[in-house]
A and B are shown apart, each in its own frame.
Chain A
Amino acid sequence: MATNNNQSVDMAPAPEGIEGSGFFLTSLEKAVGLARKNSLWPLPFATSCCGIEFMATMGSHYDFARFGSERPSFSPRQADLLMVMGTISKKLGPVLKQVYEQMAEPRWVLSVGACASSGGIFDTYSVLQGIDRIIPVDIYVPGCPPRPEQIIDGLMQIQTLAETEKIGYRNSPEYKARLAKYGIE
């Protein structure tokens, strides 16, 4: 492990802007994007096997926390990213929708695993064939279960979405139309 003195710490790259003595000029979008990207608090909605891989991702070997997701929040009001990991049955569908609706904007949804993305190997009467039937999903991570590296890749793609989101997107008509498709206000 390299010795860590202040000169060699990796910092997140600064966005495009004009720098001067004591000031940095950039657009609000880029600054907010940078802040949001590096502090996504996940809500681990872990139901089955993918949840155990999430526990391994949270552990010290793969360390999810270095991407800014230090504080998994189990309260939807305080979470940014809903990570649905595992099979969602039809009985659990309304619960998932309720949790999603309780989250405050901006919120993202990461569907981890084959079962959450499409029902997986369980093409049965009791399993919801993909959570995108009830809530809008941003990124899908395939796998059964996906390796921790894949889950981290999914998180990094959510980070890209968070970084490049336009201010005011959440109030825009296209976002509202997207939610309306699922019956969410």
Chain B
Amino acid sequence: MTHSDHLVTVNLGPTHPATHGILQNVIQLDGERIVSAVPTIGYIHRAFEKLAEHRPYYQITPITDRLNYCSSPINNIGWELTVEKLLNVQTSQRIDYMRVIIMELARIADHLICNSILGVDSGAFSGFLYLFQHRELIYEIYEEICGTRLTTNIGRIGGFERDFSDIARQKIQKFLDIFPPALKEFESLFNRNRIFMDRTIGVGAISAERALNYGFTGPNLRATGVDYDVRALTPYSSYSDFDFDIPIGESGDTYDRFMVRNEEMWQSLRIIDQALRRLPAGPYHVDVPEFYLPPKSDVYEYMEALIYHFKIVMGEIPVPVGDVYHSVEGANGELGFYLISDGGRTPFRLHFRRPCFVYYQAFPEMVIGSLLSDAVITMSSLNVIAGELDA
């Protein structure tokens, strides 16, 4: 028997210990059991969709960086693929392979954060410290390729702004050599750890039917047993050339999500290795002068480059009219871009299908009836990134 005056209201957020982002959950407890959980979001609403209506296509890439900022390259490349679909630009195999390498590195970076923070939330700080060292290696690779560490603005419509240098290739190879033993060590600390298993098995479970009904995608859906992966079902950027498995779980609980993400990191390493070994020769951007900004040195010396630069920046290139939806497999699930173009310099409407926004709705259903500490672990294992949640 519960009486409502005996319920304790706990406000979890919006300023959150442990770096989960700005979310708020008003939780009502009966003793230690959760009776209701009401999430409130929007504390970091930055009006991306409104902003995108006022920026030309090539200026939207830095905005997409800030969606899921733990794996910015995936957002950037997803947007470039959407625009290339609109403009009917075909990229070469070299560009596709380069994109695949960068996207898989970003996926590893995101899963590193999620799994190590899950460790921190269940009390094990060491995993976080060890894995973050390797995240620095990924940052060094990004820095070599595009100049920044976190919000990368990587790539251009039609390819890349510069080729992979030798140093970049060496750094990627070094990462492929150094990281697997570290990941193995991390797994040995957690996978069969009695305390971790007791804290995560059976916690925050959701069935496959409910998950699909909510619109789950990504590792959270795969942990429930549904093997939907955008890379496999609707391949983009030559993903069909690569050999990789899609790990799935059984019960959709926290332990399964953790294990699925670990295994996905191994599969990403496999993909990067294949792509790096079979990287074909060729130019690092396609020859579409109407959409690919020419190098600045050419703009200062050649008339055609100057004219194209002017036309692209001032928006005098005719763009097809229509609706495009393109999605990529982000680290959290299907990251979709719905673009309505009216032929103008800026999109008429751009909507981001953010996976975090869609699956965070299921959080109350996943935690009602469990303990407060389970709610923290569940939230951490869902990998809710506030930037993607609020856009």
Residues of A within 8 A of B (CB): 44-49, 51-56, 59-61, 74, 86-87, 89, 91-92, 95, 99, 121-122, 124-127, 144-145, 147
B176 at the interface (CB under 8 A from A): no
A59, B133: Cβ atoms closer than 8 Å: yes
B129, A59: Cβ atoms closer than 8 Å: yes
Q: Which residue of B lies closest to A74 (CB)?
A: B17
Residues of B within 8 A of A (CB): 14-17, 19, 21-22, 42-47, 50-51, 62-63, 65-66, 69-70, 113, 128-129, 132-133, 135-136, 139, 149-151, 386-387, 390
Q: Which residue of B lies closest to A45 (CB)?
A: B15
Output the least CB separation between A180 and chain B (Å): 25
B113, A52: Cβ atoms closer than 8 Å: yes
A126 with B47, Cβ < 8 A, contacts A49-B150, A59-B129, A59-B136 known: yes
A121, B132: Cβ atoms closer than 8 Å: no
Output the least CB separation between A86 and chain B (Å): 7
Output the least CB separation between A127 and chain B (Å): 6
What are 30 A-B interface contacts by the 8 Å CB criterion? A47-B386, A48-B22, A48-B44, A48-B66, A48-B387, A49-B65, A51-B21, A52-B113, A53-B150, A55-B113, A59-B129, A59-B132, A59-B136, A61-B133, A89-B42, A89-B46, A89-B390, A91-B45, A92-B44, A95-B14, A95-B15, A121-B62, A121-B63, A125-B50, A126-B47, A127-B46, A127-B47, A144-B151, A145-B150, A147-B149
Number of A-B contacts (CB under 8 A): 95
B150, A87: Cβ atoms closer than 8 Å: no
Q: How far is the CA of A125 from the CA of B47 in the complex (A)?
A: 8
Q: Which residue of B lies closest to A43 (CB)?
A: B15
What 3 A-B pairs come out closest when comparing CB atoms? A74-B17, A124-B47, A59-B132
Contacts of B17 in A (CB 8 A): 74
Contacts of A125 in B (CB 8 A): 47, 50
Q: How far is the CA of A86 from the CA of B14 in the complex (A)?
A: 14
A52, B69: Cβ atoms closer than 8 Å: yes
A87 with B44, Cβ < 8 A, contacts A46-B19, A49-B69 known: yes
Contacts of B47 in A (CB 8 A): 122, 124-127
Q: How far is the CA of A54 from the CA of B18 in the complex (A)?
A: 12
B387, A49: Cβ atoms closer than 8 Å: yes
Contacts of B136 in A (CB 8 A): 56, 59, 61
Q: How far is the CA of A72 from the CA of B69 in the complex (A)?
A: 22
B139, A124: Cβ atoms closer than 8 Å: no
Contacts of A99 in B (CB 8 A): 15
Q: How far is the CA of A91 from the CA of B151 in the complex (A)?
A: 24
Contacts of B150 in A (CB 8 A): 49, 52-53, 145
Q: How far is the CA of A51 from the CA of B44 in the complex (A)?
A: 13
Contacts of A91 in B (CB 8 A): 42-43, 45
Q: How far is the CA of A52 from the CA of B117 in the complex (A)?
A: 12
Which listed residue (B44, B113, B132, B390) contacts A60, Cβ 8 A?
Answer: B132
Q: Which residue of A lies closest to B47 (CB)?
A: A124
Contacts of A55 in B (CB 8 A): 19, 113, 132
B132, A56: Cβ atoms closer than 8 Å: yes
A47, B132: Cβ atoms closer than 8 Å: no
Q: Which residue of A lies closest to B65 (CB)?
A: A49
By CB atoms of chain B within 10 A, which of A44, A91, A145 has the most? A91
**Besides A48-B44, A56-B149, 8 new A-B residue pairs in contact (Cβ under 8 A), listed by A number:** A47-B44, A51-B21, A60-B129, A61-B136, A89-B390, A121-B63, A122-B47, A124-B47
A92, B46: Cβ atoms closer than 8 Å: no
Which listed residue (A46, A53, A56, A122) contacts B46, Cβ 8 A?
Answer: A122
Q: Which residue of A lies closest to B45 (CB)?
A: A126
By CB atoms of chain A within 10 A, which of B46, B129, B132, B139 has the most? B46
Output the least CB separation between B67 and chain A (Å): 10
Q: How far is the CA of A155 from the CA of B41 in the complex (A)?
A: 30
Contacts of B113 in A (CB 8 A): 52, 55
Q: How far is the CA of A91 from the CA of B13 in the complex (A)?
A: 13
Contacts of B70 in A (CB 8 A): 52
Q: How far is the CA of A126 from the CA of B69 in the complex (A)?
A: 19
B139, A122: Cβ atoms closer than 8 Å: no
Q: Which residue of B lies closest to A93 (CB)?
A: B43
A92, B69: Cβ atoms closer than 8 Å: no
Q: Which residue of A lies closest to B55 (CB)?
A: A121
B19, A89: Cβ atoms closer than 8 Å: no
Contacts of B133 in A (CB 8 A): 59-61
Q: How far is the CA of A117 from the CA of B287 in the complex (A)?
A: 40
